Amino acid sequence: MIGGLYSDEVLRGLQARDRAVFARVYEHFYPVLFATACKYLKDRAQAEEVIQDVFLKLWEKDFRLEHAAALKSYLFRAVINQSLNSLQRNRMTEDHHSALQYLQEESYLCTFIEEQELRERIHYAVEKLPEQCRRIFKLSRYEGFKNNEIAHQLDLSVKTVENQMTIALKQLRAALLDHPEKPISAGSRLRLLVWLA
């Protein structure tokens, strides 16, 4: 598993934004990167945010590594830099424990509300898709069917299913990601990018 992650194939997959490769890299490196961020920040919520930011940048931006073996050091360096930046931006005094407790509770509540709003936005956007497009998308993303299975189930060609999925993904990206007046957090954006890849 580890050796497989340090291959040129994985590097090409990341550069091509292959969702399966990205998920594999994320799942493998997350525990040790999270522990690294926690070591610097002493705060699990901030550490989680740092990891999400690093992987969001990895997904959204073009990056170049000379060889696949540099991937681990690239991720560690990015997490450390992001943690240090976070400490500089969000330096808090520990003189007022009650104020800190309030902030933590408020942060949890804001996260909960944001996730609820995101679910509603996803539901609304999916329901606005054309009927056939919507059925195909739900079978793919909600029920896990492959394109050929959807084609067989709906008596369509695989090409039609692929075309309808392309339309669905394009419309959902526009509806959910391209609205500066309704910004979403880095963590939510990352989940959407992977889900809609």
pLDDT digit string (tens) for 100-150?
Answer: 454 454 454 445 556 677 777 778 888 888 999 989 888 888 778 888 988
Asked if residue 143 and residue 62 are part of one domain, the reply reads no
Give the dihedral sign, CA 145/149/151/152: negative
Residue 153 lies in a domain: yes
pTM value is: 0.45
| Alpha-carbon span 62 to 139, nearest angstrom | 31
| 15-37: pLDDT as tens digits | 777 888 888 888 888 899 999 88
Domains identified in the chain, total number: 2
Asked if residue 55 and residue 129 are part of one domain, the reply reads no
Residue 93 lies in a domain: yes
Residue 133's domain comprises 116-196
Residue 110 lies in a domain: no
Residue 105 lies in a domain: no
- Of 180, 179, 197, nearest to 125 by C-alpha is 179
| Alpha-carbon span 177 to 184, nearest angstrom | 8
Residue 104 lies in a domain: no
Asked if residue 1 and residue 93 are part of one domain, the reply reads yes
